[in-house]
Amino acid sequence: MVPSDEPETRLRQTRVLWIALIVNGVLLIAEVVGGIVFGSLALLADAAHMLSDVAGLGIALVAQHLMARPRSDRHTFGLLRAESLGAQANAVLLLASTGWILFEAFRRVGEAHTIEGGAVLVVATLGLAVNVGSAIALARVRGDNLNIDGAFVHMLADAAGSVGAMAAGAAVLFWGAVWVDTAASVLIAGLVLVSGWRLLAATTRVLMEAAPAHLDAADIGEALRSNPVVDDVHHLHLWSLSSDTPAVSAHVVLAGEMTLHEAQDHGAALRAMLAEQFEIRYATLELECHVCE
């Protein structure tokens, strides 16, 4: 059983993703043109990351659409893992953009080039406004959704990139320090690298069916055993269907003699407890009268 408000949440998330995609697409064009015309590597570095943002937002939208599809005989849990796959693709894009930025930065070391600092400062400031606005909108709807979190991380990292480009533009404009442009691009790359690696690690944990970070299998086992009708719990498995959808399965040994109807009632009560205390909506409990071999 999934939360009743899940479809509305997915719809809000999709709407915010569309808005962010359109706004960032327009800004991407402005930064590419500005970087080429004004000769700024920091601006082009930010635009490269912006390109990964636009691609990442597109991937997130596709993943949201797939997650909303109903369950079928072939996909009995639906396509909830599309969230992790989309977020993982976003992480790979972040890491790839880091490589390009670093390559361009080191290629420029020792080269003489001209940068129009004032124009760079204006474009980067516009970029910061768009990135911060998009990040705030995504933060309001992301919850524990890794797919939305991936898009949010993109926006935060790009906001940091815009700050770096602004610093480069100001340094060139007021002090003629062209080297700051290259230094800022390296700093941007470092921030993007950290963000991408963390997102990749989080999505890999879901795909490898690790226990959710906020849940402990031992705590869940103890909660089940605390019920007076439970003698023992074994073969307990805890994993995530998606980042915000934990699931559990366990063998539960019931105490004493009881009818099948009574056992089913106790099983329903245990599942309700898991939903209330741990927000686990997918719980499969195999009820036993004695420990299985």
- Confidence band of 49 (pLDDT split at 50, 70, 90): low
* Res 29 pLDDT > 80: yes
Inter-residue contact 202 to 243 (CB < 8 Å): yes
- The lowest-confidence range among 24-33, 70-79, 144-153, 187-196 is 144-153
* Res 28 pLDDT > 50: yes
- Confidence band of 48 (pLDDT split at 50, 70, 90): low
- Confidence band of 235 (pLDDT split at 50, 70, 90): very high
- The lowest-confidence range among 20-24, 142-146, 155-159 is 142-146
Give per-residue pLDDT as tens, 94-132: 788 788 778 877 776 666 556 667 777 777 788 788 888
Among residues 137, 150, 2, the alpha carbon closest in space to that of 64 is found at 150
Amino acid letter for position 283: A
pLDDT cut 70: percent of the chain above it:
89
- The lowest-confidence range among 8-22, 44-58, 210-224, 275-289 is 44-58
Residues paired with 167 in a beta bridge: none
CATH no. of 6-207: 1.20.1510.10
Mean pLDDT of the chain: 81
Inter-residue contact 52 to 167 (CB < 8 Å): no
Task: Return the higher-pLDDT residue of 184 and 229.
Answer: 229
Spatial separation of the C-alpha atoms in residues 188 and 181, rounded to whole Å: 11
* Res 278 pLDDT > 90: yes
Q: What is the pLDDT of residue 2?
A: 39
CATH no. of 217-288: 3.30.70.1350
Inter-residue contact 120 to 42 (CB < 8 Å): yes
Give per-residue pLDDT as tens, 160-192: 777 877 887 788 778 777 777 777 778 878 877
* The two structure tokens encoding residue 165: 């480009």
Which range, 107-111, 137-141, 233-237, 258-262, has the best average confidence (pLDDT)? 233-237
Residues contacting 28, CB < 8 A, separation 6+: 47, 50, 51, 53, 54
Task: Return the higher-pLDDT residue of 111 and 228.
Answer: 228
Among residues 231, 239, 285, 282, the alpha carbon closest in space to that of 255 is found at 231
Inter-residue contact 186 to 102 (CB < 8 Å): yes
* Res 244 pLDDT > 70: yes
Q: What is the pLDDT of residue 275?
A: 92
Amino acid letter for position 173: L
- Name the strands in the sheet holding 245-254, side by side, starting at the edge strand that comes first in the sequence: 230-242, 245-254, 282-288
What residue ranges of the chain are covered by domains with CATH 1.20.1510.10? 6-207
* Res 4 pLDDT > 50: no
3-state SS assignment for residue 211: coil
Residues contacting 33, CB < 8 A, separation 6+: none
What residue ranges of the chain are covered by domains with CATH 3.30.70.1350? 217-288
Q: Show the 3-state SS of 88-124.
A: HHHHHHHHHHHHHHHHHHHHHCCCCCCCCHHHHHHHH
